[in-house]
Every structure is written in structure tokens, then in C-alpha cells.
Amino acid sequence: MALEAINAHKLRGFFTVLGTVFGVTFLIAVITLIEGMNQYVEKEFKGAIYGVNTVTLRRRPSITTDGDEAKWREWQRRPRLTFEDAEWLERRMETPGVLALSAMNTGKALGPRGREVENVWITGATSSYFQVREMAIEQGRPFSRNEADRGLPVVVIGQDVAAALFEGRNPIGQEIRLRNFPYRVIGVIEKQGKLFGMSLDNVAIAPIRSDLNGFVNNGRKNTVDEVTFKVSADTQVPLAKAELESWMRIRHRLGPAAADDFELETAEESLGFWDKIRTILLLALPALVSVSLVVGAIVIMNIMLVSVSERTREIGIRKSMGARRGDILLQFLFESSTLSGMGALLGIGVGILLAKVVQATTPLPASVAGWSIALGVALGVGVGVASGVYPAWRASRLDPIVALRSE
């Protein structure tokens, strides 16, 4: 009967469904984008920025959300991390793992025949850096510990640098210039992809003790940005962090009451801010989008009131033939919930499509969460029931004699 009533008034049904479609569409699109961002941060961002199962020692936090001016001044007064600090820690760490140090700056890479690449992420690192960051080599090899300790002018480059400087030719054994220093290419890293639209393949990694010492660490030779310690299992991360903290406090001769003058970060702790942002987004944005569902509910209620007025005689006939109030109530509730349910299903499809379009045209990822689909259906049907209660109750309260007299 609900479907028959909808079919009999197609235009009215269309506008009723449209009110729910808009609300559910944007609700699904927003949740899909937020969940996509969450998965992206969990899987890609953590590995690319921090590495898997790692503890990173830094002078100051890598990500700050509430650092005031006084805090920044305090960070600037902290001692810089040095090659000697890293070597001292490596000799004393008892937790099984691999230690790497690195420093990074952006610059220009020059190739043969005047070719050049701008804004290359030039990294000075130890040979263990490739293992810690789990970087696979597509061509050639990474530099060895001997080459790194001696500071030999060898370099491993990313796919973008190789393509721009050598245009499909084999770059292995060729010479490039970094900060006008000559380096021999010995390896090309497998394609890393992009991170929020920024290429991870526009990189060049060379021994930190080579001629780049002083450039990658912003003019301060023999210093590093990060000392990273990688363990084999995530259960060992807290143990490694506690041990690193103990050794660094001894190294900097800090008293029991003194605060740390360094930062130790794990991916989970450093990206804790994202969990807060995600929670706020999941609460605030769907709540704002749900306003359109309220508008849709008002539209459905008004249309159902019109429907009750138009079908007053029909209601009178049904009641005179024995229909109870509950039967009339259910009839109109089914009609309103069917309309909104159809709008919810259509809105889910359009919302997912909209999120995929955003994913295809922007750096933002998208991931469809099963619970968001269930939420969309529940809200759609719920809006129909809520908006249909008053018209249905009004229809069920009609006096059959008065209703039969209606024209």
C-alpha cells in the first residue's frame, strides 16, 4: 500500500525522497573521507614519517599543536644531537634493534647535460637508514657501513630524481651533483608514491659524513635531526623507549628531578593528536550535516499532512470497515519510512560516489566504513518514522463519520 501510494504521487514522492537524499549523501561522504584519512594516517603516514616499530630521538617534537613562544624558546636551548651521541647510544643499547641517524634539507640535484631537479629532499644518513625505514632498492644497492663511515661520495636516489636526470637511461654509475658536490649514483629506491600530494620519490640519500655534512644539518656539522631505533616487534617499543630515555639522561647528566632535554617519539604517541581531531570531526561534521536531515524531516511531515488531508475519505472508509487506529497509524508510518528509506539508500550510493570523486581529484583518501552505511539507513528510516508520527496519529484520530462526508 505504501509503494502504491508513492507510485500514485510520483512528483510528491520524488521531493520527499530528495529531502533525505541530501542529508544522507553528505553524511556518508564526510564519514567516508574521515575514515579514509584515518586509514591513511595509520598505514601510510606512520610508516613514511616514523617507520614501523621505531623510537625516534629528537631535539624537539616533530609535530606540535600547542607549543607557545616560551616552549619554543625552551626547545631552542636544548643541546643538539651529535654523531657522538648516536655512537654512544649504539654501544650501550641492550634491547635488540637497529640504530640509524639522519638529517635532511631541501636542495637542487644536477645531472648530465644541464638537467636539474628542484626541491629534492637531500638526506644524510647512516647505512642502517634503509633498513630502519624499510626502503627497498629497485636498481643497484644501498651504500655500505664502510662507505658511510668513510663519507664516500655515493648516493641512492628516488624514482623522480632518476627519471628527471636520466630520462629512462640506467643511472647506476652516473654522476650527479648535490650542493655542487659530485656524487656517484649506486642505487635507485623502489617507487614510494605520494604523501598528501607530496612525492616521496623526489629524494637523494647519501652518507651523512660525506661532503653534505653541514648542509643537511643546516650549517652545524656533525649534528643530526633524528636518531631512530628500530625493534623487531611492537611489544619491544616501550622497552626500547625506556632504555633510550635512561641512557640519554645519563649522557646529558640530568638529575632525578630535571626534565628531559630531548624528545622520544613513537608513531602512536606522536599521532595521538590525529585521534583527537578524528573524534572531533566524527562528532561535529555529521552533526552539522544532520541539520539537512531535520529539514528533510520537516518536508516529509508536511507532505504526509497533505496526504492525510487528501485521503480523509479513504481513511473514513477503512475505519468504517473495521480498521483500527493502529492500522491507520502503521499505514502512514510505513509510507513515510518507505520514502525516507529509499532516500537513505540513494543517498548512501551518491555519498560514496561523491567521496570517490573527491579521492580521484584531490590528495584526500576515502574509505567506506560499514557502520556509516548502517547509520545512514537507520537515520533515513528514523527520519521517516519521526516525521510521520504526527500525520499518522492525526489520520488515526479521524472520526469515520466525519471522514466519510469529506469530498
Q: What is the pLDDT of residues 266-320, one digit of tens each?
A: 877 666 666 777 777 777 766 766 677 777 777 777 777 777 776 677 777 777 7
Q: In total, how many domains does the chain have?
A: 2
220 and 353 housed in the same domain: no
Assigned domain for 129 exists: yes
User: Is 378 part of any domain?
Assistant: yes
Residue 398 within any structural domain of the chain: yes
pLDDT digits (tens, 9 = 90+) for 386-399: 777 777 777 777 67
Is the domain of 111 the same as that of 151? yes
Do 257 and 326 reside in the same domain of the chain? no
Clarify whether residues 183 and 137 are in a common domain. Answer: yes
- Residue 317 CA from chain centroid, whole number: 59
pLDDT for the residue numbered 43 = 65
pLDDT value at position 273? 65
Has residue 275 been placed in a domain? no
Same domain, 209 and 92: yes
Question: Do 341 and 391 belong together in one domain?
Answer: yes
> What percentage of the chain reaches a pLDDT higher than 70?
87
Residue 84 lies in a domain: yes
Tell whether 49 is covered by a domain: no
**Domain annotation covers residue 214:** yes
**pTM of this structure:** 0.66
Residues 252 and 379 in one domain: no
The domain in which residue 112 lies consists of: 54-265
Residue ranges of the chain with per-residue pLDDT less than 50: none
Shared domain for 154 and 261, answered yes or no, is yes
- Asked if residue 398 and residue 334 are part of one domain, the reply reads yes
Question: Do 261 and 180 sit in the same domain of this protein?
Answer: yes
pLDDT value of residue 360: 78
Residues 324 and 372 in one domain: yes
Q: Examine the domain organization and report whether 26 and 84 are in the same domain.
A: no
